[in-house]
């Protein structure tokens, strides 16, 4: 897994120490909101484009609740790096699957690195796909168990969805189940990406 994937997983593991979104008004509608000009919460000194999509504020809470994630407990998971920036939002969720109750952690990161840079770092575990016609990658690293990542191209860089499946049974989760439902989630969230 490349540098950004490692950063994403580290942020997801450390999200318990992140602060809540605070008093800013999060998105709550069930349709993609019209594009607004917002000063990014975090910028860097790299000369890269500012990150114009803020997952904690631009993804409506009711959309995340409907997808099985508790938006009332979402937490900021930002990563200002100096040479690039990631704005993140972490969620916990329980999704009922017939015969199974699975728990997931989800991290949505918007960053100003390019899809080409992401492919250079994680090409060994990435497959090119499209999400609603948008260029994307799906990444499944056998060394990062129970984790699936979709990375979507934007005009400012990328938006990544990293989901960890916390098994509730003994034994390993088969690798072909790590990404179950993640494409559907990416397809649902893609229209909200402002770029």
pLDDT band at 38 (very low <50, low <70, confident <90, very high): low
In a domain, 29, yes or no: no
For residue 147, tell me if it sits in a domain: yes
Rounded to whole angstroms, the Cα distance separating 90 from 69 reads: 10
Q: How many domains does the chain have?
A: 1
Does the residue 31 lie in any domain?
no
Q: Whole-angstrom distance between the N-terminal and C-terminal Cα of the chain?
A: 26
Percent of the chain residues past pLDDT 90, beyond the cut: 53
pLDDT score for 13: 43
- pTM exceeds cut of 0.85: no
Q: In sequence order, what are the beta bridge partners of 150?
A: 138, 161
pLDDT surpassing 50 at residue 126 = yes
Asked, for residue 119, whether it belongs to a domain, the answer is yes
* 192 DSSP β-pair partners: none
Query: Which tokens is 46 given?
Result: 């790299």
What are the structure tokens assigned to 13, written together?
Answer: 């593991």
pLDDT at 136: 98
Is residue 27, in this structure, part of any structural domain at all?
A: no
Helices (H), 14-154: 55-58, 61-66, 115-122
In a domain, 161, yes or no: yes
Are 116 and 108 spatial neighbours (Cβ–Cβ below 8 Å)? no
Give residue 64's domain range.
Answer: 3-13+47-192
Domain-embedded: residue 58: yes
- Residue 73 located in a structural domain: yes
């Amino acid at each position: 897994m490349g540098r950004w994937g490692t950063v994403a997983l580290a942020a997801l593991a450390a999200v318990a120490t992140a602060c809540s979104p605070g008093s800013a008004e999060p998105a709550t509608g069930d349709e993609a909101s019209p594009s607004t000009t917002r000063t990014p919460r975090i910028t860097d000194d790299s000369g890269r484009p500012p990150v114009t999509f803020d997952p904690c504020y631009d993804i409506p809470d009711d959309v995340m609740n409907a997808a099985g994630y508790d938006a009332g407990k979402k937490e900021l998971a930002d990563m200002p790096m100096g040479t690039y920036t990631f704005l993140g939002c972490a969620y916990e969720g329980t999704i009922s699957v017939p015969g199974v109750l699975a728990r997931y952690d989800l991290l949505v990161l918007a960053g100003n690195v390019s899809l080409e840079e992401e492919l250079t770092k994680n090409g060994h575990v990435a497959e090119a796909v499209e999400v609603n016609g948008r260029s994307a990658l799906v990444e499944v690293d056998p060394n990062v168990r129970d984790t699936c990542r979709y990375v979507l191209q934007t005009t400012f860089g990328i938006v990544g969805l990293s989901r960890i499946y916390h098994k509730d049974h003994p034994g390993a989760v088969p690798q072909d189940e790590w990404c179950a439902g993640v494409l559907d989630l990416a397809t649902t969230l893609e229209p909200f990406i402002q770029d």
